[in-house]
Structure 1
Amino acid sequence: MNRTFSLDDPGTPEQEWREALRAKALPSLDLSPLRRLVVVSAHPDDETLGVGGLIAQAARADLTVDVVVLTDGAASHPDSPTHSPEALRRIREHEVRHAIELLAPGASVRTLALPDGALADHLDDAVDAVVETIGLDGESTLLLSPWHLDRHPDHEAAAQACALASTRTDAHHLGYPVWAWHWSSVDEFPWESAVSAALSEDDQDRKVAALAAHTSQVEPLSDDPGDEVLLPDHVVRHFHRDVEVLLPQAPADDDALDALHGSNSDPWNVESSWYEQRKRAVILGLLPRRHYESVLEVGCSIGVLTADLAQRADRVVGIDSSAHAVQAARSRVPANATVHVMDTPNEWPSDRFDLVVLSEVGYFFSPGDWAALLARVEQSLTDDGEVLLCHWLPQPKGWPMNGEVVHGAALEQLCRGGRRVVAQYRDDSIRAEVVGPTPIEP
C-alpha cells in the first residue's frame, strides 16, 4: 500500500463504510468497568473527529474525561497569507477547548503545544504528559490515541507515546482511525480486531457541534490562495456517523532504561555521587545479618551495589532488563556474583534467596507489574528470608509511582504471613525498610 495520500483525493465513499459497518456487527465497547477516559490527540481536532461521540458518551456515563493535545496544530495552513503559525496556534487551542466543552462540559484539556509535524522528536515529552495525566488510575482508565497505522507521522508518534504510557500505567489502550477512513478501503480495513461505540442522538449532536467549533479546519481561513478549507466535505462525512470504531494498538517495547545505559556508562553517577554512596551505606547498614547465603538484587544496573553485597554473602545474583547495564556489571562484580539479563517480572531466577534487594527499581514498573514482581519475591524467599526496599522519594518523570507509593504497596503485600518491618530509615531523599520474620541481631 502507498503510505502517502491527499485529502483532495475522492477517497473511499462514506456510503461504503456505512454499509460495511451495518454488515459487520462489530462487538460493542464496554465502558462499565472504567472510571476514566483519557483521550490523546496529535493535533487539535483529532479527538473530535475520531472519538468525539465517545467523549460525550463517557461524560454522560459520569466517567472522568481528560484530553491531552500534543501538538499546536500550527502547520495546518503553511502557505496562509493571512494567518501566521502563532496565530493558528492560538486559534486552534481556543477551538479545541471550545469543542471539548461542547462534548464533555468540565472535562480537563491539557495542551502541550509541541511542534506540529515533528512530534516524533518530542516523544519523551508526550510520554511524560500522558503518564502524568493517567497517574495511578491506569487499571480503570481507557486510553485512546490516534491509530498507529493511520499514515500520519504525528499520529504514529502519538500512538507510540501512548503505548509506552499504557505499559507504564496499566491503562487500557485503543486507537481511533482518522485518516484511514479516507485512504483505506472496506476490504483492507482490519475489521476482525475492531470494536464499536454506538452513539446516541445526543452524542451525535454534540459531535456535530464540536466539529463545527474547529472553524479553521472545516471552513476556509479566507478567500485567498493558501487559506483553503483543510477538511473537505467528503472527508468530514466520515465523522457524522452514529458509530465510532476503535482498534488495538501495537504494544510498546519500553527500552528507555537500556537506551540510557547504552548512552552513558554511569547514568546515575553511582560511583561518584555522594547521594549514591550514602544510600549504599544506608542499605548495607540496615541489613540485620552480617552474612547471607544467597542474595538476589533486582535492577542491579552497573553492579556497584552488587559488588558490595557480594562482600556480605556466599553468592549474589544480579538481574536487570538492560543488556548494556549487565555487560558493565559483569566486568565489576567478584567471582561469587553473577549477573543476568531478565525481563522482570515475566522472567525470574529459579533459585531461592535469604535476601532480596529492591533498590530504586519499583517506580520503573507499572503498578500491576510491581505487584507481580513482589509476588515473585515472596515465592523465591527462604522461610527466614528478608526483603530490603530502598527508594528515592521525589516523583520520577515519566513513571506513575514514586518511592512512597512503591513502599506502601510493597509493605501491604509483603507484611503478611508473619513478616514485618524489622529495620527502617528515611530522610528527605530516601526511604528504606527491611521486611523479615526475625528481629535485628544485637
Structure 2
Amino acid sequence: MTSCPALFISAPSSGSGKTSVTAAIARSHARRGERVRVFKTGPDFLDPGILERASGHAAYQLDLFMGGFEHCRALLAEASREADLILVEGVMGLFDGKPSSADLAAAFGLPVVCVIDASAMAQTFAALATGLARFLPELRHAGVIANRIGSAAHGRMLAEGLPDDLPLIAALPRDASLSLPERHLGLVQALEQPALRTQLDAWADAWEEGLRPGFAFQPIRFDSPQEPPPPRLLAGRRIAIARDAAFGFIYPANLDLLRALGAELAFFSPIGHEALPGCDALWLPGGYPELHGDALATHPTLAADLAAHVAAGRPLLAECGGMLALLDELTDADGRSHRMAGLLPGRARVQQRLAALGLQSLNWPEGPLRGHSFHYSTLETPLAPIARAGNPNGGSTAEALYQQGSLRASYVHHYFPSNPEAVAMWFGAAR
C-alpha cells in the first residue's frame, strides 16, 4: 500500500469549469516544485493535453470500461509511488454515464469536490451542492468549489448556506479572459495555444487567491499492484506514428504498451511534410485532418509512401481522422473539398452536428478491443465492414471496422491496453 494526497474534481454538468479548476490546482502545485499527476475520467484527448501542460506530466485516462478496474488501479498505484499530489478530473456531471465519475471515485475511495457554476445562483447553490453530496452516501465529499462568482460578497453568501460537513473550498471569479477556445470536438488542442502557459499561471493565481484558509488535501491509501509486463512480442519492430495538430488523439497508455511490447516508436508530422520513416508498421491516430486538408493534400511524398507501405504488406492502422486522411476526398465544415491519400475508396464530409458518440467494443480478428467514438463527419465507402462495434450502454453508435489488405481502419479510437495480445498480433504481423 502507498499513500498520496488526492482529489477527484467533478461537477453537476459539463461546462462548469472542471478542466480549468483541475489545471489551476495542478499548475499551482507544480510551479512550487511538487510532483503532480493528473488523470482524466473517460475517453478524452483534449482536456488531458491541457492537464499535461499544467502538471508537467502526461495525463492518463481512467476508464472502468476501456481499461477495467485492475488497469485503473495499477495506474493510480504507479502515480502514488512517485507523486506529491494526484488529481482526477471527472467527465460530464458527477453521476452521468455508465460508468460514471461517481463510479470511478467510489471504486478507489477518492474524495470528491464538485465545481459549481455559481454565476446565476444564490441560496440554491447550497441546495445543489448538498444534493450532490447526499445522493450517493458511499462517496466521500471534501467540499465544494464556487466558480464564476460575481464578487467577494457573492462568495460569502454562497458559503453561508452550506452545511458544516461540506465547506466551500474556494470561490473563483468570473473572468472571460480565463476561458479557453473551443471547436467542434471540445477544447482547442494544447499544442495550438501558444499563450497557454500564461493562462495556466493566471488560473493558478486565481486558485491561490480564491482558496479558503484551512483546506488540506486528504492522503489516500492506494493498493500498489504492478501490472506484469507483457511479453515483448514486438521486439525488433519499428512502428511509425503520425503525431501533430492533425493527428494528435493518442492515449499515453497506448504508447506505453507498444514500448512495453518491445516496439521502437518513430514519430513524424504529415502536416509538417515530414517523410514517412522507415518502419515495419504504421499508426495514423485520430485528430483534425479536416483543418489541415491543404497541408495533407500538398505533401510531396505521403500518398506514395503510404501506398508503398501497404503494397509491401506492412500493417497500417488508421483511426477516425487517420482513416479520413486515407480516403479519396474529405470535405471540411466550410464545404471545401480536399484530395486525400486515396488508399481507401470513399469520401467523408464534416457536418455541423455530432454524427456519433459512445464507448465501443469491437471484435478484431485477433481478439476484442475496447475504445470510443466521437466525430462530426460522415463516411461513404463501397467497402463492406469485416466487423461492427457494439455500444455497452445500448447507444446507437456502432462503428464499422474496414480492412483492405494490410490496411485496417475504423472511426473507433482503440485503447490498446484492453487487449495487448491482439494489438501485438496486428502490429507484429509479417504479411
More strand by share: 2
Higher gyration radius (CA): 1
TM-score under structure 2 normalisation?
0.27
TM-score under structure 1 normalisation?
0.27
More helix by share: 1
